[in-house]
Each structure stands twice: as structure tokens, then as C-alpha cells.
Chains A and B, each alone.
Chain A
């Protein structure tokens, strides 16, 4: 299939991704814990024509961040994604969720609900990192041998995929006349017994609207790239230069192609855009004066048209298929992208100017996976 246009996602948080964003006079304490705040941001992204919002990105585990950091306060990403369903209409809703300490059955079940209730807009942003601090909160992680962690993640995902497949399309028949709610021949046990997980199934929740949610990963280690090639729909990379991106995206895509799959590669980008209150460069300097550090990703400071130029250049060079935006200040830099940058990208033919697909998969040009049991039982 392949998407003809670039993909844009945005990671939402309380005040923005610059570590000092929360110290600007406009920032409010309540934003961190307010559903209305996140609904406003998601609405802004949706009106701006972005494809996907990410909640809880970047993942950082259960360790409390130090006192100057706004990352210390978070809301569970899956609950937040669920809360945004009725506040949005067609934008994708991605939640960071673990493939480590939780059970694959829980992940499969929660995302079945997210995808059904959102009518096919859910994305799972897989967090497979083993962090030493998390061992203190999830004692079962102690049993995981770090040298085999990627194998375990692979099995975790395999179980989740099998559970989503355990209900074929059309398993729910709602046949009132014959008193048949479910066609039980289309619901299957998975009988998985692997090195780490033993799960009988079937899932107790119907097949996701998208077959399975869009799978987003961001681990670019050698093992992470192998996992992405085998299981991911979207890979987020963090290149600092266009050259590094061309190389990283090319390598990741080649691995996926070798596995007979497609992979959308997005690059993390923190924009800070010229506003009435000051140029992007001035705004960034003011923020840098308040915080010693910045996210370790590509930054941009300047006019909306220049940001459109950068995006265009990277796409043309094959450095990525789109960007995952980490706006320096929210809502300001998201509003600038939505109001100025996306319209410019539309004029340049880089962003579709028309109705998007009904599901996130359709929107991204990704095929809906068929249930493995469909082929086995009827094919």
C-alpha cells in the first residue's frame, strides 16, 4: 500500500517538551492532571490535520524524575488515551504501554477496548526497556535475563498478536432470530506455551477494529531494530542530522523489507516556532536560561515556512517518512504547526488535503492484518 504523504504525530504532555516549558508564566499547575488540557491539545492536533497523538512519550519507567523536572508528574497513558476518545473524532490515539512487567493478556485486552471504543484509532507505543529502577516496583522483572530481554519482548508481542487474532472478523454475529450472539467457530484458543508466557486464550474481548492496533516502537539498538522489522508498523528514530537519518531509516526499512514487511519511520523533532511574542531562537534562549538540558533530539527554531522546508528536505532525502513532534512549548508550538506549518505542507503537496481514512491504519496506508486463524480455518 504505502502512504503517499508524510506522517505527523505529536507527543503531548503538560507544558511542552523543553524541560523549562513549565516555568513560563502561561503554564498552569492543573495542566499536568487535567483531562481538559489534553483534550484541548488533541483537538488542536486533530484540527491541524496531524495523524496521531502520543501519550506518555518518551517512555521513562517508574522512577520519579528530579524536582525541577515536569516529567515527575504523569497520568497513566492508556487511561488518558481512553479519556480522549469522546473528545476527538478521527485522530489516532497512541499510548505508551509496557511489554515487560504487565501481562500480554492485559495489553491485548486493554488495546482491544481502546481500538473498539475509538473505532479503530488506537496505537500501542511499545515500551520494552528494562530499567534497573523498575525492578523495585515490579519484582517479577528480576526473573528476566537482560541478555534475553529482546527474545522475551518478541514473545510478549507474539502472544498479544495471537490474542487479537483469537477473534476472527465476523465472530460477533448478533443473530437475534437464532439466538446466536457469537459464532464460536470463529473464536480460538491460542494455547501459547513459550519460554516466558503460557496463555490459553481466547481473548475475552473482540477483535480490534484495525485487526490490531498500530504498533509503534522507538528502540533503535540492534536488537530493537530487529524487533521493529519483525513486529512494528512505525519506528521512531532520534537522528541529529539528515545524514544520520538517511542511514538509520534506510537500515531499518531494509530489515523490514527483508522480513516482508513495511515500516514507517518517523524522526523525533522538537520545534520552537516564531511567534508574536518572540522568534523561535529568542524563545529557545529564554528557556535554555532556565534549564541546563534539552531533549536529546533534533531541534528546530525559526519561522513556520523554514520548518516546512526542513520537513520537505528530510522527506525528499529519504531521511524519514514523517516526524514525531515534541513541541517545545504547549500549546504554542503545536498551534503554530497546526495553523501555519501543516497548511504550508499542504500547499506543497506533502500532506493530504482531504478526508483521512476511517481508521488509523487506513490513514497511515497500513494494511489491516488478517487473523491467522481465519486462514487456517477457512482458507
Chain B
């Protein structure tokens, strides 16, 4: 029997009003709606109607600041992502519910307890993107020195081990509900964890039975050398920023090799680069949309965003002057959330670029290190298919510029083309997120 054709996996990355930094200024945006569950429910249901694998919420541990105060000009805050996905558990039926949560500033017992609850409440649709946190979080968690990166990854290794043990502390058949015998659970099948590592000691067991998926799906996004090894050791979905097909192919090949090195099947790991499409019914319409998004970015804010991106106040340099590469390189150490991959920032800078030219080019795509494309549905779908078939990815984490509008445009116009080309599922075939990704349910560990 022939192998079934490989298909794309799609996640929706929810980020307030959309991934375009000025999306909230769009006439179709109602920015106050980001405080309402209806907004998130609508987006999740649109993605579910489009048969997406999952909807994903990112995490922050501190308010974003610039010049000593909260960054007031753009959409900056984030609701607790775990509360957000829990609130969608009963309001959606099939779509996976993914959230980042920090291994640096949350306790393993709490992480295990909360993701187990959401996996149960959603009938096996939870996923956890493990993030080690940048220094901003230390300000709010009073732990003194923010741990350095090797320490953070070592802590994260411990956290993964503990959380797995806690989920495994109940055998799948431990919750016996023996009404006649008066045994709610079988004590022989619920075991303490007794983990004692360098950073954490956890006795267990959990007071929640093993999650429906065994473990919620593990996501990881680090692109540093540490991050890649860490992700390859356990992650099942990998987020990354791959601007070109070559980067995607190379990264995916490396990750698959590393996964095999850990004794894992490389097919048990799905690589999803970020993808920021501007969809028009025609290419011309897509270009018009692109230009419209570009002019939504306020000029003063543009400079602030650039300065924030490079961790350097660019307003002190002439706007029409050359890019201050030497000074920028000196400031690119330890970039939270982006994984410290300086090449990805620098790849956007062309020879002979001025700050002004760079700034204008970036305004449409909002300074993102992710793939950007404006096109008609056919072009977008072909692009996605090309990446899949060339081994550049296993799918994408979609970053619609405006939500719900541009998400709906993608689902209405691009999804049917992808389906017609055999690149994407026409319907869900299972009920859990592991089913959607074709990932095996992990057996209980030793």
C-alpha cells in the first residue's frame, strides 16, 4: 500500500488583533474586543471551520517597556494564555489548544496540574510550548539573578522530566471508580514521583489522572544550539523562524537528525515555521492590502520598533544614513523570545541599506523574522505546497495580519485551494490533537 501523501499541519498563532503591529488601527479592527472571550472564540471557531490543527497563545512575563515606561503605542499586553485556552476548551470541539508557559518561572507541579486539567476538559486537545524565559521576567518574580541560558535549559530539562513523571503518576487504568468496592482509584496504580534534581524536588503523585493524550503535545521553539538539542530530545512540534526555503530545509534536516540521535523517529516531530500571509483575491489586491498595512504604522512608532528590535536607540542616527551595523552587533546579545539568532535579524538588512529604506520595507511585515508573502490564494497555496514537498516544513504556524478579518480570508480563500490540491485535510479524522498531528499517544514511562 502506498504511503498516504504528506499533508500540511496548520496552527493559528493568536496575537491580540493580529500579527501586523498596527492591525488594531485597521478600520475593521475592534481593539477593545481583545478583552472579550467572544473575540477568541470567534477566531478559534474560524480556524476550526478551516480544520486547523490548533490555535496557539504565546506568553509574556512582564509588560513590554521602552524608554522606561510601558510601550504605549502598540498592542502590547497579553492575557494569561493558559486561562485563554482553558476558556476555549468547552467552546470548541475539535481544534487543538496550545499555550506557551515558562519553565523558568512556573513550578513543575503547577504546570503538570494545569495542562492535565486542560487536556481533560478539552477531551485531549492540549499542547504546551515550553519556553525558557528571558531576563524581563526576573523583575516580577523576585528570584534575584536571572539564571543564565545553560542554567535555564538545565532547569527546563528537569521540568520536562518531572512533568512527565507527574502525568505518569497515574496509570491509564488507575481511576477505577469501583462503586461496589468503595475504591475510587487503585492505589497500586498511583505512584509518587520522588524526583530530586538540582533545581526541583517533587514528591507527587498528581491528584489528576493521566491526561487523555498521555502527555499533552510538547512544542518547543528554541533555535539556538542549546534550544535545538533540547527540542530534539522531546518536542513533537517545533516552531521556528525560517525566512527562506533553504533555512527551513537545513533546520528541518538538522532537527530530524538530532531527533534520531536521541533515538526518536523523526516523523514524530513536526516542524512549523511562522508564516505571515497577506491574501488577496488577486495579487494586485494583496499588494493593495500590503500597502494599506504599511501606512498604518505610525512613523514615530516605526523608529521605536526598530530600536526595540535591535536593542539600540536608532533615533540617534540619521534616518537617511547607513545602517549602524557595528553598534547593532554589539547590542544583539541575549534577545528574549527570539532565541538569540542574530543572523535572522541581520538577513533583512541589504547592502547599502539606510535606516529609512529598511524601515519602510519592514513596515508591511512588521519587523518579523518570519516568512512573509502577499499573493492570491493560488500563489499562497503553491508556496506552502512547495515548502512541504521540498522538505522545508511539515506545516506552518499561521500569523494572520488582522484577526478575525484576514484569518477568515485565509480560511475562506486559501484552505479550499489547499484542500483541492491534496495539501490539507478536508476534515478532522480524529478527536485529539495527537490524532490531528499523527502523533502516537505516549505510553506511561517506567
Partners in one complex: yes
Contacts of B37 in A (CB 8 A): 85-86, 117-118
For A148, what are the chain B residues with a Cβ–Cβ distance below 8 Å?
Answer: none
Interface size on A, residues (CB 8 A): 74
Flag B59-99 by CB within 8 Å of A: 1 or 0 each.
Answer: 01111100001111111111110111011111100000000
Mark out the residues of chain A between 1 and 50 whose CB falls within 8 Å of any chain B CB in the assembled complex.
22-23, 25, 27, 29, 32-36, 39
A82 touches B83 (CB 8 A): yes
From 95 to 115 in chain A, residues with beta carbon under 8 angstroms from any chain B beta carbon are 101-103, 105-106, 109-110, 112-114
Q: Which residues in B have their C-beta under 8 angstroms from that of A105?
A: 61, 140-141
Overall SS of chain A's interface:
mixed
Contact B120 A68 (CB under 8 A): no
Q: Which of B36, B80, B179, B209 contacts A27 (CB 8 A)?
A: B179
Question: Given A113-B83, A113-B84, A179-B301, does the pair A174, B31 have CB atoms closer than 8 Å?
Answer: yes
List the B side residues contacting A109 at CB < 8 Å. Answer: 80
Evaluate contact between B72 and A180: CB separation under 8 angstroms.
Answer: yes
Residue B207 CB within 8 A of the other chain: yes
- The answer to whether A68 touches B72, judged by C-beta atoms less than 8 angstroms apart, is no
Please tell me the number of chain B residues within 8 Å of chain A, measured between CB atoms.
75
Contacts of A136 in B (CB 8 A): 201-203
Contact A74 B73 (CB under 8 A): no
- In Å, the complex CA distance between A72 and B175 comes to 10
Contact residues in B for A198 (Cβ distance below 8 Å) = 142
Instruction: Decide if A182 is an interface residue (CB 8 Å cutoff).
Output: yes
A76 CA to B122 CA, complexed, in Å:
13
Interface residue from B32, B105, B121, B201 paired with A35 (Cβ < 8 Å): B121
Q: Is the CB of A36 within 8 A of B90?
A: yes
- Give the segment of B5-13, B185-193, B243-251, B364-372 that binds chain A: B185-193
Answer whether A72 and B207 are a contact pair too, CB < 8 Å, given A79-B114, A102-B110, A139-B200: yes
| Residues of A close to B79: CB separation below 8 A | 112-113, 116-117, 205
Docked Cα-Cα span, A22 to B184, in Å, equals 8
A73 and B185 in contact, given A85-B37, A119-B36, A139-B201 (Cβ under 8 angstroms):
yes
> Are A85's CB and B87's CB within 8 A?
yes
What are the residues of chain A within 8 A of B83 when measuring CB–CB?
A: 78-79, 82, 110, 113-114, 117
Q: Are A35 and B90 in contact (CB under 8 A)?
A: yes
CB contact between B89 and one of A25, A83, A182, A187 (< 8 Å): that residue:
A83
Residues on A with C-beta less than 8 A from B84 are 82, 113, 117
Contact pattern, B 131-145, Cβ under 8 Å of A = 1, otherwise 0: 000000001111000
Query: Contacts of A33 on B, CB cut-off 8 Å?
Result: 120-121, 208-209
CB of A245 closer than 8 Å to a CB of B: no
CA distance A312 to B200 in the complex (A): 51
Q: How far is the CA of A35 from the CA of B236 in the complex (A)?
A: 27
**Shortest Cβ distance from A33 into chain B, in angstroms?**
4
Interface residues, chain A, CB within 8 Å of chain B?
Answer: 22-23, 25, 27, 29, 32-36, 39, 62-70, 72-76, 78-80, 82-87, 101-103, 105-106, 109-110, 112-114, 116-119, 133, 136-139, 172, 174, 176, 179-184, 187, 197-206, 290
What 17 additional pairs, Cβ within 8 angstroms, besides A62-B207, A76-B116? A29-B175, A29-B177, A35-B90, A64-B207, A67-B185, A73-B207, A76-B113, A117-B40, A117-B79, A117-B84, A137-B204, A174-B31, A176-B24, A179-B25, A179-B301, A181-B76, A204-B61
Cross-chain pairs A/B with CB under 8 angstroms, 16 sampled: A75-B117, A80-B117, A80-B121, A83-B121, A86-B91, A101-B110, A102-B110, A113-B80, A138-B109, A181-B75, A183-B72, A184-B69, A187-B63, A197-B142, A199-B139, A205-B80
